[in-house]
A and B are shown apart, each in its own frame.
Chain A
Amino acid sequence: MKLYDQIFNVVKQFKKLFSPGPVTNADVSGSITAEIFIIVSLVLAALLLRHVSVLLAGLVTLILAVVLISNIPLIPKFKIEQEDSLEKMLFYAVITLAIIVTFIYWGGNLV
């Protein structure tokens, strides 16, 4: 029953995503699809780590699955992080630049 309540709460929280304005059936079902899609695809993408190390892939997949499922609803959080304000966009652009450069400079020959 607990999981059921949790999922019901998720649907309620989707209402905030579409406010102001009415929340239609199609929008909520789309959001639930996105929720499931994001969990499954991220876990599936984590499986790609098995080409580096099988143990690491198993660990990361399990941890990622537990973290993602216990944190539903994910879509409102994802959407807030990817809104249209320039500050968020610049922040993520510069962070990505830093990660790419760091990763390539010190780890470029390890792959």
Chain B
Amino acid sequence: MAQTQLAILFTSAALVVIGLYSAIFIDNIIKKIIGISFIEEGANLFIVAIGYKPGGVVPILMPGMDTSWFATNAAYPLPFGLVLTSIVIGASTLAVMLALVMVLYRRYGTLSTSVMLADTSKQEEYDE
């Protein structure tokens, strides 16, 4: 049903907005990263929703299937392929971010963004 697609689209929009909210307003870096990864998931969910077809079948041509029936009834496979790639990239980006956070946590002993990622240009410019 088209309501399913609409619900998915609303969910993805909500994910993006929550992500943008957390990017500005949350101070804890881990929470901020979790929130930011919502944006990525929202975008992925949106692309999945594009390929949705009410009453469609899985886009795999099994032996014995009628080709013209398959062509009219199969869901659009391209978005799923794209999202798979995008999820892998998102996961690796997340891993690198969290690894950097681990290093910085050991150095600063805090997860607060305003301490860890504050303006550093003044200290380093003229240290004796």
Contacts and interface: CB of A to CB of B under 8 A. Distances in A.
Question: Chain A interface secondary structure, helix, strand, loop or mixed?
Answer: helix
Given A86-B113, A87-B114, A21 B126 contact: yes
A1 to B, nearest CB: 35
Contacts, number: 28
Nearest to B121: A84
Contacts of B120: 84
Contact of A85 (B20, B117, B125): B117
Interface residues of B, number: 13
B60 interface: no
A3 interface: no
* Interface range for A: 10 to 19
Contact of B24 (A20, A21, A83, A94): A94
Nearest to B117: A86
